Amino acid sequence: MLQVPFIRENKDAVIKGLAKRNIDATQMINDVIDLDEDRRGLQTQLDNILAESNSLSKEIGNLYKSGETQKANILKEKTSQLKEDSKALNEQLNEKAEALNQLLYKIPNVPNTLVPSGNSEDDNEEVFRKGDIPVLHKDAIPHWELAKKYDIIDFELGNKITGAGFPVYKGKGARLQRALIAYFLDKNTAAGYTEYQLPHLVNEASGFGTGQLPDKEGQMYHVTEDNLYLIPTAEVPGTNIFRDELLNESDLPIGITGYTPCFRREAGSYGAHVRGLNRLHQFDKVEILRVEHPSRSYKALDEMVEHVKMILDELKLPYRILRLCGGDLGFTSALTYDFEVFSTAQDRWLEISSVSNFETFQANRLKLRFKNSDGKNELAHTLNGSSLALPRVLAGILENYQTEDGIKIPDVLVPYTGFEKI
């Protein structure tokens, strides 16, 4: 959530920045400023009434002590009216504050100056590419056919048990899935991230804290009776560890990692681009999160990008990095880099990671602050990244490592799988 003082002081820059998202935010920003002016005006009136009421209370006490009861009673009537006035002002103030908050919840983060303008994923900017695209044998097939051929993932069984988008991993497929999770966690902890096991459901406050609510409410599974949400990513419970926390500057930076299943209702379109593991309702992901001092958060973002690059280099998968344009940028992000692996059998790029800097946007919602060197409370910056999302990484391995007599396992995973080939 954007800070009101920041909006007031940088009105034109905020409107210009949000235009990169193809949003004309002029009216919303003017409404924020007007509501804040009204709120501050009401607060001033309330403060004056409370100050007058306190002053009269002292005067009434002195009058009673001096025996001037009649004068004291007259002033008591006045304080009673002031109490009524303050109650009415409090109600108006709460209404204005709520209206202001509801409007602020609708305004996305302002893109960083590095974010290119654009309308959709077609306008994203490729900033890096590495790895040779393998030449497969003439009978190469996509991963959903490989999964059936070698009996390692059963999409039909998942459909029977639950529905489309809930695959069942079997035998060496399950072992490879577990190997990837362990490998990702080991790489992350070796890089200094502390491992957490996190809840798979969160409350409403957590959803608002990281920006999934109200923006992505329709994409999450909602347990209505308990008003809990199945997590769409470990970012939500992981970042909410720090909700309502006041840290010391010496605590920063903080880095955590965690494996969770992720649940998303968004899957549901049809065609080859969403077949198999390409888009799921339930999938596994290992996440990395950072809480940073504002002065070094973009250096931290670069470090996270390099970390994911190192993992993909070890897996020896061809990949590229895209800087997302304004039209494709997530609601809460100031700058996002997407990693994509090339699927040779499908002849297309598959997104396998997003690494983002949210600056103070989430921290303001979370009330995540630290005491700086001047002794003042300051909002921290939050960042997160997939390290990595498993389905499309697995799809890339199955397709790019397939041979005529099986699927070779990347060398770096063999110690985790215990086998070299499926």
The residues, ordered by sequence, that sit 6+ positions from 151 with a Cβ below 8 Å of its Cβ are 170, 171, 173
Q: Which two tokens stand for residue 394?
A: 């697995």
200 three-class SS: coil
Query: Is the dihedral angle over the CA atoms 320, 323, 328, 330 positive or is it negative?
Result: positive
DSSP string, 66-96: TT-HHHHHHHHHHHHHHHHHHHHHHHHHHHH
Find out whether 121 is annotated in a ligand binding site.
no
Residue pair 288/303 in contact (Cβ under 8 Å)? The answer is no
Strand ranges inside 231-330, DSSP E = 246-248, 254-263, 282-292, 319-323
The answer to the question of whether 239 is labelled as a binding residue is: no
287 labeled part of a ligand binding site:
yes
Does 403 appear as a known binding residue?
no
Q: 366: which 2 tokens?
A: 């979370």
Encoded amino acid at 115, one letter: V
Q: Which residue has tokens 């097939």?
A: 141
- Do residues 149 and 141 make contact, with C-beta atoms less than 8 angstroms apart? yes
CA 3 to chain centre: 18
Q: Give, for 387, the enclosing helix (H) or strand (E).
A: strand 381-389
Annotated ligand binding at 264? The verdict is yes
Q: Is 265 marked within a binding site?
A: yes
Q: Is 233 annotated as a binding residue?
A: yes
Compute the CA torsion angle 91, 97, 98, 100 (nearest 10 deg): 150
Q: Which of 18, 4, 8 is nearest to 334 (CA)?
A: 18
- Residue 44: CB atoms within 10 A of its CB come to 11
Query: What is the separation, in whole angstroms, between the first and last Cα of the chain?
Result: 48
What are the CA-CA distances from residue 337 to residues 37, 286, 351 (Å)?
Answer: 37, 17, 11
Looking at the DSSP assignment, which residues form a beta bridge with residue 223?
228
Looking at residue 111, the DSSP 8-state letter turns out to be: P
Alpha helix segments (H runs only) across 134-261: 143-149, 155-161, 171-190, 204-210, 235-240
- Answer yes or no: is 240 a known binding residue: no
- The rounded distance, in Å, linking the Cα atoms of 187 and 35 is 48
3-state secondary structure of 314: helix
Residue ranges for the known binding site are 233, 264-266, 287, 351-354, 384
Residue ranges for the known binding site for L-serine are 233, 264, 287, 384
Residue ranges for the known binding site for ATP are 264-266, 351-354
